[in-house]
Structure 1
């Protein structure tokens, strides 16, 4: 019998030897880790068999009586699921009804609220504390006294303070309080005497917010002789007097059909209100004409009769009464002009300004300072300063308007009307 030939043995390559060595090393490592985990008690033990459950049934818990559900709130229904054709008369009528309902709701929110308003009833944020504001009636700076000196400037930082939740349209100052107005009729009062937060603190300042108007508040004014009373002019056609001593906001004036854009007073007269409207009218009203009842509350049946002048066909963004010469007022208008008017010789039929300056774009506000200079802000992103005392008004004819130029002009990139308000 012939011998069987043995097959030649093939030698493993170096790569195969290395692969097998790696597998063996890995298995040994896993085995070692498993043994160490068992000795340390980290691996879960085999669960013990569950005890046989008792055949006795547990008593079912008593169910609490379910209260009757309230009537479901009507939800928006789908016209497609209801089988209504988009262009059908039913769909059109349904859309018109929804539009009218929403329109009525918006008009109700924007409608002016007549009568007296108590501060604790119109609060939006914070708590109204009348006692903390009593000091305003007795304390305050003297006339033309500087209240913000060089030391205050050094202590001032560039850190912004977010006072109102909505866009602010202006700022006014009391001795220790700052009232601010926004675009929805809210009035915010910030206690400026409170200590500022540290670098690591994120606490919000103490702010009281009330809602004396149903439309945006366009302007505010505090007369120097009555520091406890704040006048606010609003797009809802009314001027309200906020009395801090009585904690009540009363109607000081109501226009017929136009929103108000400004309010000011002469330093020499604490009873006469000057106002401007969105239709280009400037008016003057004596608050002593307001009828009052015996208990001191206002009479809802009173009518307001004011002297009015139609100075322009465009909106008057802001105006100011000259504190040194109250017969002069300065107006800023959408027609790109800043004009100065003399109320003594102002005709209601053909009013004519004594001086004017035309800007490249609309002028948003004009304000006199205590020495009679006029500052304006314009949509050309400039602040202009006019020295009213140097105007040669005597040499002009009564039928002419003096053309003036600013004595100083400051350019900025802060977007007037969006970030800058005077």
Structure 2
């Protein structure tokens, strides 16, 4: 209604504003009221119709696989229902591993910060665990030590003896132990360097870094062929794979294998000319170092085959028997069977069919911001000859699997208050270690 029809003078601004406000109120009251709903709603009853929408509540089931601390995904019922005699015996043996009893995990603070890398010294005499954290500190724990006896009334319990050293400026990403020198421990880091610690001399020396101190080449992983302990291989966050001879400074070569991060890689333990890489580009790729192709910056080992997952692949670990285990953000652990790798000729293509995983295990790999990425790690020299690997479980366990995908154990114990995300087998003994986001250590022996 206009001000003229309402009997108002055009210059009466106060009345004009009042009329406009009344009109807006009338329009608002004529519209259907939109009120928040306070009662519970069933998603099946409030679906939005339309061609682009699924309005069934079932479509949301399983969309998020949240961690359920303490909820087992492998139980005693799985052990009892095992028909295979050998498998049952193996499951019983692996499930009998017990958490180190002299101190609770919360008392074994092996690193100041979150554990990013872990390694067992290969000696079979006693469990010696090395751990590296996000700030470049290294901790060493001797699992043969025992807690001294104290009176029941004594509230001051002695802490375990742990050696800790600030060896790198940034995150430590890998430990490698020399097969010929029991005192040599190599570490790689996001600070772009590889260092060697001499346990006997108590000295840590840099054995490789970019020639220019201003260059940054963060290293995501490292490995060594047992037959050639002087040559180290490393992967980089910008998609490179490199090797260097510690006896010959300046001898390194870095190949650009991916446009995205290589999160982990592994040499075949028995045929170290074969390399498996895992990348943010969602692939696992197999390379042959016996055949280097291309020229200049385009040089690289021959690509034998690749397999693509739905989401990024975090790590690839190769067993002595020829199986590669990967972890991926598509919530799977995939096992590839390359047991015939010893017969491959240099540069031989692997067929797409042969690159398909032999077994796929559903596994929650959604670590989030505060938990280190879950990575499978094989036992390198199992005394029983059975190929098996560990990977942490987001429900605060460590899972043990065989090469055929059979679960062998789910390790737990009192006092585990966080995910032991970085899990490793001892190379030959049935000892398992796991490090968590608070720098604490779990040890099963």
TM-score by length of 1: 0.56
The separation in 1 between residues aligned to 2:91 and 2:120, in whole angstroms, is 15
* Partner residue, 2:254: 308
Change (3 A) 1:398 1:410: closer
* Partner residue, 1:166: 113
The separation in 1 between residues aligned to 2:235 and 2:322, in whole angstroms, is 20
Farther off after superposition, 258-267 or 188-197: 188-197
Q: Are the aligned partners of 1:229 and 1:244 in contact in 2 as well (CA < 8 Å)?
A: yes
The separation in 1 between residues aligned to 2:293 and 2:338, in whole angstroms, is 22
* Partner residue, 1:243: 198
* Partner residue, 1:180: 131
The structure showing larger relative contact order (alpha-carbon pairs under 8 Å, at least 6 residues apart) is 2
> Greater helix percent: which structure?
1
* Partner residue, 1:267: 226
Q: CA RMSD in A?
A: 3.2
Q: Are the aligned partners of 1:364 and 1:377 in contact in 2 as well (CA < 8 Å)?
A: yes
The separation in 1 between residues aligned to 2:342 and 2:93, in whole angstroms, is 39
The separation in 1 between residues aligned to 2:321 and 2:193, in whole angstroms, is 30
The separation in 1 between residues aligned to 2:315 and 2:145, in whole angstroms, is 31
> Is residue 278 of structure 2 the alignment partner of residue 325 of structure 1?
no
Change (3 A) 1:269 1:394: closer
Farther off after superposition, 374-383 or 319-328: 374-383
> Is residue 310 of structure 2 the alignment partner of residue 334 of structure 1?
no
CA deviation string 1:163-201 (max 9, x = no partner): 333211121001331001111101111111123699x99
* Partner residue, 2:186: 231
CA deviation string 1:117-136 (max 9, x = no partner): xxxxxxxxxxxxxxxxxxxx
* Partner residue, 2:140: 189
Q: Are the aligned partners of 2:110 and 2:164 in contact in 1 as well (CA < 8 Å)?
A: no
Change (3 A) 1:195 1:392: closer
CA deviation string 1:39-77 (max 9, x = no partner): xxxxxxxxxxxxxxxxxxxxxxxxxxxxxxxxxxxxxxx
The number of residue pairs the alignment matches comes to 262
* Partner residue, 1:369: 319
Q: Are the aligned partners of 2:232 and 2:245 in contact in 1 as well (CA < 8 Å)?
A: yes
The separation in 2 between residues aligned to 1:308 and 1:344, in whole angstroms, is 15
The separation in 1 between residues aligned to 2:266 and 2:275, in whole angstroms, is 6
Larger radius of gyration: 1
Three-state SS of the structure 1 residue aligned to 2:247 is: helix
Q: Are the aligned partners of 2:314 and 2:373 in contact in 1 as well (CA < 8 Å)?
A: no
Q: Are the aligned partners of 2:112 and 2:137 in contact in 1 as well (CA < 8 Å)?
A: no
Three-state SS of the structure 2 residue aligned to 1:389 is: coil
The separation in 2 between residues aligned to 1:164 and 1:381, in whole angstroms, is 28
> Is residue 366 of structure 2 the alignment partner of residue 411 of structure 1?
no
Offset at 1:353?
1.7
Three-state SS of the structure 1 residue aligned to 2:174 is: strand
Change (3 A) 1:277 1:419: closer
Change (3 A) 1:421 1:197: farther
